[in-house]
Homo-oligomer: A and B are copies of this chain.
Amino acid sequence: MNKAALNPNLEQLKVDFLYHFGLSSADDLRGMFGDTKHVAMMGSADRAYTFAQKLHDQLGDPIQYFGKMPELQFGKLGKVMEHIWNLLSVNLGYPVPIGKTERYSMYKVGDTISVSHGMGQPSHSILLHEVTKMLHYAGATDFKYYRLGTSGGVGVEPGTVVVADKGLAPSGRAEYVIDVLGEPVTLETDFDPDLAQYILGVRGNIEAVLGSTMSADDFYTVQARLDGAFCMITPEEKQNYLQKLHGLGTRNIEMEAAAFGAFCKKMGIPAACMCVALLNRLEGDQVTSTPEQLGAFSDNPQQLLIQYIASTRQGQKVA
């Protein structure tokens, strides 16, 4: 992270409440997150849990749990039982979330955070602000951010992971526009090119390509699907639009990459975005694969990141 990019106002806060995590700078963030080197972010809590478990199973990294035994009083019996249950879970190899789980679910396994970001750029942006402040208070250094997601492919087959060179707005421009004081401000959205190439180099059997990722603030209309509750376009307009995006280098469409790239570029955090195509949008709109196929597809970006993390460690083998 580029420390100069960090908000200087943070120094004046006595305590910073990381509201959406249920944590604050008064917690022992240094003890919990000071050693963090990798932050893997993905849409759903289920996937964040699965990825945490894979880190443990395949890399042997320890599942971390920072809960403390509450004082033994009658009114706290529920909390005591929860603590014992969590200790048991962690020791049996089942990850336990840190902080509250109402908005995001966060796990720590070895030097890696696995956390959900919900759907869409706004939801992801809250997570990015809070996890970055958290790692700053924790004194963590040299960490990288990754987004592991699902997407609609544009001219790639289902199952292919698109490692993004940059995020695109629906216009096809490589930008993310935010409103500052009600006026649009344009941010750059390119990802770390060396990191993307390195990741592609360790892909092994996983089908993966470099391409641009278009981010939409909607699943239906903005992604030019014809099957929303309302529809404002014709099939011909849709096809022309997707072909235009393809011509600009777009290989998939999802809902987070541009904001993610913009945040990381602004903060000087090396970042990679790896989203698997669940379908080829040039051929249809509906996600019709079986749950088993979808499970196998969404496994691909996770597996790719595990192979990358292993490759950065001397002598590390993926089990």
- The residues of A with any CB-CB pair to B shorter than 8 Å are 5-10, 13, 16-17, 19-20, 43-46, 102-103, 118-123, 125-126, 128-130, 132-133, 136, 169-172, 178-183, 185, 216-222, 224, 226-233, 237-238, 241, 244-245, 255, 263, 266-267, 286-288
How far, in whole Å, are A133 and B225 apart by their CA atoms in the complex? 14
Q: Is the beta-carbon distance between A5 and B237 smaller than 8 angstroms?
A: no
Cα A10 to Cα B228 with chains together (Å):
8
Chain B: minimal CB distance from A295 (Å): 11
A17-B286, A178-B221, A229-B7 known; A123+B123 contact, CB < 8 A: yes
Chain B contacts for A224, CB-based, 8 A: 181
Selected contact of A182 from candidates B19, B241, B255, B263, CB within 8 Å: B241
B120 touches A233 (CB 8 A): no
With both beta carbons as reference points, the residue of chain B lying nearest to A173 in the complex is identified as: B182
Interface class of chain A by DSSP: loop
A126–B122 Cα distance when bound, in Å, is: 14
A218 to B217, CA, bound (A): 12
Q: Within 8 Å CB of A128, what residues of B?
A: 229
Point out the residues of chain B lying under 8 angstroms from A20, CB to CB. 219
B227 touches A267 (CB 8 A): no
Say whether B287 contacts A17, CB under 8 Å: yes
Whether the pair B7, A228 counts as a contact (CB closer than 8 A) is yes
Residue pair A129, B219 in contact (C-beta under 8 Å): yes
Q: Are B126 and A220 in contact (CB under 8 A)?
A: yes
Given the known interface contacts A102-B46, A229-B133, A230-B5, the answer about A122 and B119 at a Cβ–Cβ threshold of 8 Å is: yes
- Find A255's partner among B17, B122, B245, B286 (CB 8 Å cutoff): B122
